[in-house]
Structure 1
Amino acid sequence: MTPNPTNAPARLGVQLQPQHANYTQIRDAVLRMEDLGVDVVFNWDHFFPLSGDREGLHFEAWTMLGAWAEQTERVEFGTLVNCNSYRNADLQADMARTLDHISAKGGDTGRFIFGTGSGWFERDYDEYGYEFGTVGSRLDDLAEALPRVKARWAKLNPAPTRGIPIMIGGKGEQKTLRLVAEHADIWHSFVAPGDLQHKLDVLARWGEKVGRDVSGITISNELSRGSLDDGHADALYAAGVRLFTLGLSGPHYDDTPVRHWLAWRDRKNREAGVGAAA
């Protein structure tokens, strides 16, 4: 079956890139995003800035997520995306379970999303002493890690408060989309609207091969960077995207585009007659 139920509400995720800002600015931005009504707040899993001054301010992802889990009340959160290479798979699972529990407030279930990928930024590997390998070897490592993560979740005491959603990033048809078909609840990419149907067809075929119904996988995609192009977002929506992500860099984390895309999200949901975004 084709991925992504088209009656699902549109949702907005904001990636607060942990670069060029002090932590007070990042903490304040998280609270502001939740107050505005953003659905998901992400950071990224790197050790150095990816744009601007490459020696600028930067913070580590997972320790930051612990603070986010405690300071927020409603918004889901995670990393867009975790680098599988940097941490043992069972440790990743335990960290994710712990974040899940920290973020469960008042008896509710947790709000952590386990976004993960195979890694790509060679400087991180070189400076922190990880073996960079090849695209293929890193994807093979991810393929080996994902069953371990899920198996560890089944063993932990206490168990996670919910089935922690797995988001996998990437678009490769031979390995990545197979992993999405096997393991993901959310598939994230930067694929253009006109190319999405082909990728979704590939994903559906992988679902048939691995014996999993992929129709419930949420399709996630990046909004045009630095643009308020409703036409591009409309095309992504028509192609089946329901989680739209927007990257913001420090130090100021300008919320002007966030307000624009929240209004667009709400309009889409009214037009579709679906419930307001969670």
Structure 2
Amino acid sequence: MPLLDTPVRLGVQLEPQQVSYEQLRDAVLRLEDMGVDLLFNWDHFFPLHGDPDGAHFESWTMLAAWAEQTERVEFGALVNCNSYRNPDLQADMARTIDHISAKGGVGRFVFGTGSGWFQRDYDEYGYEFGTAGSRLNDLAAGLDRVTARWAKLNPAPTRRIPVLIGGKGEQKTLRIVARHADIWHSFVSPDEVAHKLGVIERWAETEGTDVSGLTVSNDLKGRGTADADALHAAGTRLFTLGFSGPDYDYDAVRNWLRWRDDKNGGRA
């Protein structure tokens, strides 16, 4: 671990804030046409930066629209907040979006999830904020319920829906990664990756799980190609670029697509 022969993929996180939905819809089409591999939004109810009361759209309903709108790209939230919805409901929503996106084939939905952190969401929507530890405990229990529900639903998901979990905490988060994740996403530096992967492997031994196929994912915010090269050398294979509107920087996406293709030997 990690699988060094797997291709590099580029994700773009469309921030669902400070723009109209028409602008988001157009950006989704353009980014898919450009050849990005994954599209993400985030699961919040208010903007994370800029005008705190500016325009903002809900994650899951948007993802269902993307499932119908797109043809090729994989997509999901980076990340869903486990606290905001019953876990069995989350599983059913994910399964339904998976089917919407399949269009006669295999679904393209990625179940990215986390424990939540943005207190304003909790306070204004009436959720109990708790503590970082209690929210992580709820995430661990919630993921057990999500995977159990996927096994019961009729019809079943079109594929084993990939689970993406973000974070780097060694006592709880990385144990959840070892138990459930297909993709581990973080913001760690290149020289931290090997240590964190070692922690995941030790938790996998405790959990009795196989993490040999885990995809290592990281963020491109504030990073240039030298940092990305170092992350790649450490085993990172999914790179995600934050994308802010309304003045979307498509040139930045083109540059990272060229970098991706170069890492893949000139193949998209």
The whole-number CA distance in structure 2 between the counterparts of 1:108 and 1:267 is 30
Q: Which residue of 1 aligns with 2:172?
A: 175
The whole-number CA distance in structure 1 between the counterparts of 2:48 and 2:189 is 22
The whole-number CA distance in structure 2 between the counterparts of 1:252 and 1:126 is 31
Q: Which residue of 2 aligns with 1:259?
A: 254
2:183 to 176, 182, 186: 186
The whole-number CA distance in structure 2 between the counterparts of 1:160 and 1:77 is 15
Cα offset, 1:213, TM superposition: 1.5
1:202 corresponds to 2:199: yes
- After superposition, what is the alpha-carbon deviation per residue over 1:39-82, rounded to whole angstroms, capped at 9, x for unaligned? 00000000011111111110000000111000100000000000
Q: Which residue of 2 aligns with 1:242?
A: 237
RCO comparison, higher one (Cα < 8 Å, 6+) = 1
The whole-number CA distance in structure 1 between the counterparts of 2:86 and 2:246 is 32
1:29 to 27, 30, 35: 27
Residues 1-278 of structure 1 mapped to structure 2, 5 A cutoff: 2=1, 4-105=2-103, 107-225=104-222, 227=223, 229-270=224-265, 276-277=267-268
Cα offset, 1:152, TM superposition: 0.5
The whole-number CA distance in structure 2 between the counterparts of 1:26 and 1:196 is 33
Cα offset, 1:224, TM superposition: 3.2
Aligned residue type for 2:127: Y
- After superposition, what is the alpha-carbon deviation per residue over 1:6-32, rounded to whole angstroms, capped at 9, x for unaligned? 100000000000001000000000001
The whole-number CA distance in structure 1 between the counterparts of 2:195 and 2:179 is 18
TM-score by length of 2: 0.98
Query: Which secondary structure state, in structure 2, belongs to the residue aligned with residue 45 of structure 1?
Result: coil
The answer on whether the counterparts of 1:219 and 1:242 sit within 8 Å (CA) in structure 2 is yes
Aligned residue type for 1:50: L
The whole-number CA distance in structure 1 between the counterparts of 2:259 and 2:88 is 39
Equivalent pairs counted in the alignment come to: 268
The whole-number CA distance in structure 1 between the counterparts of 2:159 and 2:194 is 31
Cα offset, 1:208, TM superposition: 1.1
Cα offset, 1:248, TM superposition: 0.8
Structure 1 unmatched ranges of 5 or more: none
Aligned residue type for 2:248: Y
Cα offset, 1:83, TM superposition: 0.2
The whole-number CA distance in structure 2 between the counterparts of 1:68 and 1:254 is 21
The whole-number CA distance in structure 1 between the counterparts of 2:108 and 2:244 is 23
RMSD, aligned CA: 0.9
The whole-number CA distance in structure 2 between the counterparts of 1:108 and 1:235 is 36
Aligned residue type for 1:185: D
The answer on whether the counterparts of 2:221 and 2:242 sit within 8 Å (CA) in structure 1 is no
- After superposition, what is the alpha-carbon deviation per residue over 1:221-251, rounded to whole angstroms, capped at 9, x for unaligned? 00133x5x11000000001100000101121
Structure 2 unmatched ranges of 5 or more: none
Detail structure 1 runs of 4+ shifted over 4 Å in the superposition: none
The answer on whether the counterparts of 1:19 and 1:251 sit within 8 Å (CA) in structure 2 is no
TM-score by length of 1: 0.95
